[in-house]
């Protein structure tokens, strides 16, 4: 299928820096507020957000049959619920209006300031109301590293790992948008050499470099989604920091898996980059051996080449990039995750969020968590200001970025950023 708005030759009449995440080929969706606006849906071009409510109010979207009120919501759920045909038509229309050959909006100077808002002057809000959040564990390099560290290097992967896209149900209430600080969690932990557990602020606070996809079409209870149809159910992707308290996790996780070590905060980037916009960057994934069950088989290139980085910025200091990874290293694809999630009839709803699991690559600088980068705290990292990190300190800001680039176009996700405050 040809997606019109992805045409790499398109140029906008709005100036877009070559390193911008938001050229005319991206057109992601978000929600913003500012001193005049409580919450309007928006898209992005260059350094501007595009107010979709104002755009509709001024008649620029009149042929699309979209109720204007869906752009005047705190969340994008009702807009996404309209279906991919409609959201795709809107992205195509935005692409037309921003195209340098199109004069409709370009020549309408009177409305420019109403519709285009410098991103530096607005607040980007949590874009969706997440109903249910599931986190997978789909990076083979990550699962191998963790298994090597905490179990046995010879049997690093659990016997189920290459058969099942392993996952667990997370908590939606503590998902926040980039820019929202979090407090270091408190909890129980038991150091390996201690007889009894202790209680207090977590000492081994970690990030997890992840992406997440947002469900764009609901299923009925009892219904399953095939890998072939899965893309119809995926609206788009965000960057995702799935904060983890490693010491709390080690003590609590047996036998039911992570609980308070994971549910205190999860940070997502504010722009949902549509699956449509990511199509040009699809790539082949790892060879899957042993052969997967038929319901997990798929054809074509289903991985995505998304370059990912993580930086730590200590208070009053500059940032240091500590990791460069790539989404293409995922062993299980989004389509396989969704097919697996629904194979038992479990229903999914618009706005549900599915985390990838920590995304590590094969090289040490591609590891997607401090646990791996510092190898369980045995190899501290040195930051640009000379300070060392085994895990994340109070007042550190962790910043994740991601973008796709081929020989024609670069599109990106913006930032997923949050500061760690001392424990309450
Ligand atoms: Mn995770």
Q: For the residues 33-59, what does the mean pLDDT come to?
A: 98
Distance CA 358, CA 133 (A): 15
Residue 298 has pLDDT above 90, yes or no: yes
Q: For the residues 228-238, what does the mean pLDDT come to?
A: 98
**How many angstroms does the Cα of residue 137 sit away from the middle of ligand 1?**
7
Q: What is the dihedral of CA 323, 329, 331, 336, to 10 degrees?
A: 100
Q: For the residues 82-92, what does the mean pLDDT come to?
A: 98
| Ion ligand 1 residues within 5 Å by Cβ | 135, 208, 242
User: What is the predicted pLDDT for the residue at 361?
Assistant: 98
Residue 3 has pLDDT above 90, yes or no: yes
User: What is the predicted pLDDT for the residue at 94?
Assistant: 98
pLDDT, tens digit, for every residue of 384-407?
999 999 999 999 999 999 999 999
User: What is the predicted pLDDT for the residue at 258?
Assistant: 93
Global pTM reads 0.98
- Are 25 and 277 in contact by the 8 Å Cβ rule? The answer is yes
Q: For the residues 284-305, what does the mean pLDDT come to?
A: 96
Residue 176 has pLDDT above 90, yes or no: yes
Q: Tell me: cis bond preceding 255? Omega within 30 of 0 counts.
A: yes
Distance CA 216, CA 225 (A): 13
Domain ranges of the chain: 4-124, 133-421
**How many angstroms does the Cα of residue 242 sit away from the middle of ligand 1?**
5
**How many angstroms does the Cα of residue 108 sit away from the middle of ligand 1?**
46
User: What is the predicted pLDDT for the residue at 369?
Assistant: 98
Work out whether strand 307-313 and strand 320-326 pair parallel, antiparallel, or are unpaired.
Answer: antiparallel
User: What is the predicted pLDDT for the residue at 106?
Assistant: 97
**How many angstroms does the Cα of residue 136 sit away from the middle of ligand 1?**
7
Instruction: Look at domain 133-421 and name its CATH class.
Output: alpha beta
Residues 6+ apart with CB under 8 A from 180: 267, 418
Would you place residue 12 in the very low, low, confident or very high pLDDT band (cuts 50, 70, 90)? very high
Q: Retrieve residue 239's tokens.
A: 């960057």
- Are 169 and 348 in contact by the 8 Å Cβ rule? The answer is no
DSSP-based three-state secondary structure for 411: strand
The share of the chain scoring above pLDDT 70, in percent, equals 100
DSSP-based three-state secondary structure for 337: helix
Distance CA 26, CA 10 (A): 11
Residue 1 has pLDDT above 90, yes or no: no
- Are 39 and 32 in contact by the 8 Å Cβ rule? The answer is yes
Radius of gyration for the chain, computed over Cα atoms and rounded to the nearest angstrom: 22
**Which CATH topology does 4-124 take?**
SH3 type barrels. (2.30.30)
List Cα–Cα distances, 337 to 135, 230, 276, 283, in angstroms. 10, 9, 19, 17
**How many angstroms does the Cα of residue 52 sit away from the middle of ligand 1?**
33
- Are 270 and 122 in contact by the 8 Å Cβ rule? The answer is no
Q: Residue count of the chain, please give it.
A: 424
**How many angstroms does the Cα of residue 115 sit away from the middle of ligand 1?**
37
Residue 192 has pLDDT above 90, yes or no: no
Distance CA 184, CA 176 (A): 15
- Are 161 and 399 in contact by the 8 Å Cβ rule? The answer is no
Any idea which residues carry the catalytic annotation? 142
Q: Retrieve residue 230's tokens.
A: 């899965």
Residue with tokens 């046995």: 152
270 burial (CB, 10 Å; 0-12 / 13-18 / 19+) is: buried
C-alpha angle with apex 186: 185 to 192, nearest 5 degrees? 110
**How many angstroms does the Cα of residue 238 sit away from the middle of ligand 1?**
14
Residue 229 has pLDDT above 90, yes or no: yes
Would you place residue 90 in the very low, low, confident or very high pLDDT band (cuts 50, 70, 90)? very high
Q: For the residues 182-209, what does the mean pLDDT come to?
A: 96
What is the CB neighbour count within 10 angstroms for residue 2?
A: 6
- Spacing of C-alpha 424 from chain mean position: 27
pLDDT, tens digit, for every residue of 141-153?
999 999 999 888 9
Residue 168 has pLDDT above 90, yes or no: yes
**How many angstroms does the Cα of residue 348 sit away from the middle of ligand 1?**
19
Residue 225 has pLDDT above 90, yes or no: yes
**How many angstroms does the Cα of residue 54 sit away from the middle of ligand 1?**
37
pLDDT, tens digit, for every residue of 237-266?
999 999 999 999 999 999 999 999 999 999
């Amino acid at each position: 299928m040809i997606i019109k708005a992805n045409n790499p030759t398109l140029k906008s009449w709005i100036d877009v820096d070559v390193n911008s995440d938001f050229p005319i080929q991206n057109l992601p969706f978000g929600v913003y507020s500012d001193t005049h606006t409580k919450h309007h849906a928006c898209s992005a071009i260059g350094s501007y957000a595009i107010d979709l409510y104002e755009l509709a109010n001024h008649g620029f979207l009149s042929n699309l049959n979209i109720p204007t009120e869906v752009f005047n919501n705190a969340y994008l759920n009702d807009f996404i619920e309209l279906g991919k045909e409609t959201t795709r038509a809107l992205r195509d229309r935005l692409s037309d209006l921003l195209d340098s050959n199109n004069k409709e909006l370009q020549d309408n100077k009177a409305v420019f300031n109403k519709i285009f808002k410098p991103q530096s002057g607005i607040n980007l809000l949590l874009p969706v109301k997440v109903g249910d959040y599931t986190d997978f564990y789909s990076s083979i390099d990550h699962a191998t590293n963790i298994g090597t560290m905490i179990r046995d290097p010879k049997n690093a992967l659990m016997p189920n790992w290459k058969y099942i896209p392993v996952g667990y149900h997370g908590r939606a209430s503590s998902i926040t948008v980039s820019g929202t600080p979090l407090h270091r969690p408190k909890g129980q932990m038991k150091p390996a050499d201690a007889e009894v557990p202790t209680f207090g602020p977590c000492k081994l606070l970690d990030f997890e470099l992840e992406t997440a996809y947002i469900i764009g079409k609901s299923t009925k209870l009892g219904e399953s989604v095939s890998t072939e149809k899965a893309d119809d159910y995926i609206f788009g992707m965000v960057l995702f920091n799935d904060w983890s308290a490693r010491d709390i996790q080690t003590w609590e996780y047996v036998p039911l898996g992570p609980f308070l070590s994971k549910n205190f905060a999860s940070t997502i980037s504010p722009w949902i980059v549509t699956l449509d916009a990511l199509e040009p960057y699809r790539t082949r994934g790892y060879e899957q051996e042993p052969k997967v069950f038929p319901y997990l088989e798929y054809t074509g290139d289903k991985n995505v080449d998304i370059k990912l980085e993580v930086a730590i910025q200590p208070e009053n200091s500059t940032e240091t990039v500590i990791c460069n990874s790539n989404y293409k290293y995922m062993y299980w694809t989004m389509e396989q995750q969704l097919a697996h999630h629904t194979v038992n009839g479990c229903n999914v709803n618009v706005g549900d969020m599915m985390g990838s699991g920590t995304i590590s690559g094969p090289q040490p600088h591609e590891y997607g968590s401090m646990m791996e980068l510092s190898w369980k705290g045995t190899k501290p990292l040195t930051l640009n200001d000379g300070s060392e990190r085994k895990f994340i300190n109070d007042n550190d800001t962790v910043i994740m970025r991601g973008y796709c680039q081929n020989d024609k176009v670069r599109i990106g996700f913006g930032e997923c950023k949050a500061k760690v405050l001392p424990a309450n």
